Structures are given as C-alpha cells and as structure tokens.
Structure 1
C-alpha cells in the first residue's frame, strides 16, 4: 500500500504500510534510503572481511599466547571473536544508518507480538520442508559436473559447519553466542532490516526485492558449500516474507535464531540417529 508524504506537500509515493517500520520516515531519510544502493555490495563485503579478520586475530592471539596448553580451546576463542566481529559490524551499521535518518526503522525489533513466535516457527518449517529438499536437488544437479561449483560442491550431509568448530573444541555457549545470537541479529538487520526495504523504496516489486535480498543472503554463505548456500537462499525468502508481513524484524530474527539453533543442536544429531 502506498501513502502520500506529508512533508512539504510532496506527492511522492511511499510503498510501506502504516504499520511498517519505514512508514513514518521524513523526506530526507527517504531520499537517503533510496540512494543507499551501493551498500548492497559494501556491507555484505564488510561482513565477510570482519568475520575473516576476527578469525585471523583469534588465530594470531591463540598462537602467540601459547594457549594450546590452556583451559580454553581454540574453537571457543574463534567463536568469541567472530561474535565480536558481528557486533562491530552492527555498531558501524547503526552509526551509518542513524546518520542518514533511518537507523531506528532498520533496527526496529519491537514490539514483539504474541503471533511472532508462531509465524517464525511456521516460516522455519516451510523453509526446512521445502527449501531443504530443493537445496539437496540443486546440490545433486550441480554435482553432475562438480567443476562448475565454487569448490567442487559439498557433502550433502554437511548441512552446517558446526562439526568443524566442534572439532576445534568450541564450547556450546560460544557456538550459541556466535551462531544463534550474533549472526541472526546482524544478518537480519542487514538483509531484511535494511536491504529489502531499501530495494522496495526504489520502486522494485516486493516479490523481486525479497528474492534479491535472499540471493545476497545466500551468497554470503557461499563458502559453507553449495547446499548450505542454496538452503540459505530459500530461508531468506521465508524470512523476507515474514519481514514484509509483520513490518519489522522480530519474527524474522526469531525464525533465524531457531534455524541456527536447529542446525547447531538438532539437525546433526537427527542425521546421526537416522544414519
């Protein structure tokens, strides 16, 4: 639904419902949002760089401190630094969006309605039951010629990189901090809190905006393997629909956290039990 701007009699159409976090932006903030398109490359790239930098710093500190003989495993230190990298990204993003007048809309999680957890669970079930098989199909088709994939594809049983971190000795609390709390918050704020509304504000149809933001969301997971990247794309579609349905981030964040918690604590054990 479009609304008329109440500032200076402007007749510009604004494609956000009255209950959407972006509905009440003033003209300056709307213009800044519309013209922030270059950020679709810069911010995902910065997310990558900060995550790699966090891992590099954790490795250097671990090596130089001789912590191999200490009580804290390398995987735990690694997860803590990755969580800090996400926190730094969100701090920088908050400053940037705030200076442009739409930070509060991007970061709006509240109020959390009673329906949000139910909607989040429904979206997650759809992503698992529909996106899961489709991602396996995409993987199997790509593996007909593995040279066409980024790194020869991935084992279809590797639905997450959790096992790698566990082998590095990561504590459950550190894994949860990085993957169940920090990553969902940062990624939802970036992709559904800002990127999707920004694309819609530029006049792109809502369905296409959801698909574009989901595509970028999938691409930032490309190093986790083709199947994970494909599933993340389908998950991104479900999360984008949630964001558009509710007008804010609470339900997508809850769904994303549930998804990562499932990947961390549930799916590996279910697969092991089935195998």
Structure 2
C-alpha cells in the first residue's frame, strides 16, 4: 500500500489495484481448456481403458496363480482358456471361471475410476467435483429411467441383431451361477457400469462441455467413444448401445447428475445378465 496526498491508502501494483484483483481460491476461467484440449481428452480414453485392462489382467493372473497353488485347477490350464471358458468342465471349473472374470472386472473398474479421479484436477476446471456431479434426482425421474433405458437397450439389440442376422450369445456355465459367484455380478452389474459412467458421462462429458460448449457434440462424442470401447465384444453389440448412450447423455445433461445414468446402466447390465442366464437354461 502507498499513501495518497489526502492520506488515503492506494492499492499497490502487486495487490491487483483498479478492481482487477481476483479470488486466489477461484480457478481461472478456461483453466481446464488450457490444460488438455478436447482431442487430448478423447485420446486419453483408450489409454485409461488400456491401463485399466492391464490391471485387470494382472488381477486375473494372480487369481490363476492362487487357484493353481491350491490345486483347484490343472497346472496346464491357461489363463485365456479359463477366461473364455474353453475346455472347462462346467460343474468343476465353472465357479473358477466366474471368479476369474469377476477379479478381472473388479480390478479393471477400480483402476479406471482411480485414474479418472486423479487426473480430474488437471483436466477439468472444477476438478473431481465438477467431473463427477452427484446431485440428488427426484425419484420420479429414476422410475421413468428404469423403464426407458431397458426398453431402448432391448430395442437396440433387437434391431441390430435382426439386421445382421446374428444370435445373442449365452455365456458359458451360467447354469452354476449361485451365491458363490458374487464376483461376476459385482463386476458386471456394479463396478463396470460405475466406472464407465464416471469416465464417459462424468469426466469426459464435463471436459467436452467445458471445451466445446455444445451439449449436442458432447453427447454424440461421449456416446461414440462409449460404443467404441465395446467393439471388442462385437460391432453389433457396440452399435446396439448407441441409442442407450444418447439417452444417457441427454439424461446426464438435463439432470446435472451421474446418479440416473449409473442406476440405469446397472439395471441394464443386471437384466442382460439375467437374460443370458435364462438363455443358458
């Protein structure tokens, strides 16, 4: 501070005088955009999933090592054989197949969520709080969502598989799915939807909205990349997810919360798992 001629204090240069002072705790506008541009966010998605997949495979290898050490599976049985169910005897090795897949899903999801939360502070202006909005949503909207999303999911699968002539496959060994196989539904019904929604309708959605300022392009891009990460399960399944992805994006935009998309995604996966179990008899 310096003194003026009438004895009043005038702001010094380092105090940001002239009304130009800024709250040091408030992030500068565009901070996230200056960090990572939109293409970098999109390119980060497969990297995040690659790291998550690596963590999942490490967990699977560890599970196989434990099963072999305990004499529960033959020493010659390979990891990939057990993962896909090839050469397994359902009544003997089926439980270990499900436990292995559950370990893979769990480690993959937890690693992906941890990475997203860690990088949010450098990629989103508001940090994790802005990337992962968990505002309360009226029960009526959740109830409507519980009806809408499974219908869209089923319709998408019906149309795509009808056009391509493919059959919806049933997983190996669902006839022995019981309470011991908690790891499998935990991974598919809870952790996979949670991690995917945090990545796509959470972090990526917030980042693209911050940079593009366009709900339309944000919804389209998050849906496209969400479908792309499912192409490993077949292009038909990835295409069938597009209507659901668009609906989830619209719901995320209008509700301002991740809860509806997380709940709807979990419900869809639960119904899909139940349907495949029913197909397997």
**Normalized against structure 2, the TM-score is what?**
0.70
SS of alignment partner, residue 73 of structure 1 = helix
The match for 1:69 among 54, 72, 76 is: 72
CA deviations on 1:143-174 (whole Å, 9 max, x unpaired) are xxxxxxxxxxxx4222xxx7147489795421
Whole-Å separation in 2 of the counterparts to 1:173 and 1:26: 46
Provide the residue aligned with 1:118 in structure 2: 143
| 1:163 and 2:188 are equivalent in the alignment | no
Determine the C-alpha separation between the residues in 2 that align with 1:75 and 1:184: 18
Instruction: Describe how 1:118-267 pairs up with structure 2 within 5 A.
Output: 118-140=143-165, 155-158=166-169, 163-164=171-172, 166=174, 171-203=180-212, 205-265=214-274, 267=275
Deviation at 1:259, TM superposition (A): 0.5
Query: What secondary structure, in the 3-state scheme, does the structure 1 residue paired with 2:219 have?
Result: helix
The DSSP-based 3-state class of the residue aligned with 2:186 is: helix
For structure 1, list consecutive stretches of 5 or more residues without a partner in the other structure: 1-7, 11-23, 141-154
Length-normalised TM-score, structure 1: 0.72
Q: Is the 8 A contact 2:132 2:258 kept in 1?
A: yes
Note if contact 1:196-1:213 (Cα within 8 Å) is conserved in structure 2. yes
| Structure-2 separation of matches of 1:207 and 1:126 | 23
Q: In the alignment, which of 47, 53, 77 is matched to residue 45 of structure 1? A: 47
CA contact (8 A) 2:164 2:236 kept: yes
- How many residue pairs get aligned? The number is 235
Indicate conservation of the 8 Å contact 2:134/2:257, yes or no.
yes
Quote how far apart the aligned CAs of 1:110 are.
3.1
Gapped regions of structure 2 (runs ≥ 5): 1-19, 74-91
Shift, 1:135, TM fit: 2.1
Q: CA deviation at 1:193?
A: 0.9
Report if the CA contact (8 A) 2:223-2:245 is conserved. yes
Which residue does 1:19 correspond to in 2?
Answer: none
Root mean square deviation of aligned Cα: 3.3
Deviation at 1:181, TM superposition (A): 0.9
Q: For residues 68 and 120 of structure 1, do their structure 2 counterparts lie closer, same or farther at Cα, with a shift above 3 Å needed?
A: farther
Change (3 A) 1:49 1:245: same
In our comparison, the structure showing a higher alpha carbon Rg is: 2
Q: CA deviation at 1:176?
A: 1.6
Q: 2:119 matched to which residue of 1?
A: 96
Task: Please say if residues 89 and 186 of structure 1, whose CA atoms lie closer than 8 Å, have aligned partners that are also in contact.
Answer: yes
Q: Is the 1:80–1:177 Cα contact (8 Å) retained in structure 2?
A: no
What's the offset of the Cα at 1:270? Answer: 5.3
Question: Which deviations, in whole Å up to 9, do the C-alpha atoms of 1:239-265 show, x marking residues without a partner?
Answer: 111111211111011110000001111
